Amino acid sequence: MLSSRCNDAFSKDSEITLTDLRRELKKEIESVQLLGREIFEVWINEDAPPSEGNKDTCLKAVRECDVLIVLSNGNAGWALSSEDIGICHAEYMEGLRTAQSKVRFIELPKVANADDVNAQKRNQRYQEYVSKQTPFRGGEIKTVEDAKKVCF
């Protein structure tokens, strides 16, 4: 599973969104073959039917995946309420809770501060949570190509 924000740009200087990056990574990862057979199936939320693109579906995908790659730009993601944690935060927490050894955290360039006060608070909670973890971070990521190399 590839987890990240959707419509955020990769960086302030990039026109590539994180959805674009996840779609490219999914295609590359799924193209890997062993003895002539595809060996990976990658779940991204864009492939889920609209009725199934909710928080429960995403967290179920986290629990069921063998490897969770979190592409994090510091944005906690959407939330059901102003006090709730964001979906990216929830997916990362669920992955660590379920099986820490399957989680790979890739730290991307940080996003600018959100205009919405509730989003700012969610992002701060997420970033504080991340700072207390000791995940595999994949090195310093500055470009889309760096992200692809560390994920693939």
One-letter amino acid identity for 136?
A: F
Fold (topology level) of 2-151? Rossmann fold (3.40.50)
pLDDT-wise least confident of 6-20, 57-71, 124-138: 124-138
136 confidence band (pLDDT: 50, 70, 90): low
pTM, whole model, 2 decimals?
0.86
Regarding predicted confidence, which is higher, 152 or 45?
Answer: 45
Phi, psi of 38 (to 5 degrees): -70, 140
The whole-angstrom separation of Cα 95 and Cα 82 is 23
- Please, which residues bridge with residue 9 across strands? 17
Domain ranges of the chain: 2-151
User: What's the mean pLDDT when you consider all of the chain?
Assistant: 88
Q: Average the pLDDT over 115-136 and give the result.
A: 88
1 confidence band (pLDDT: 50, 70, 90): very high
26 confidence band (pLDDT: 50, 70, 90): very high
The one-character DSSP state at 35 is T
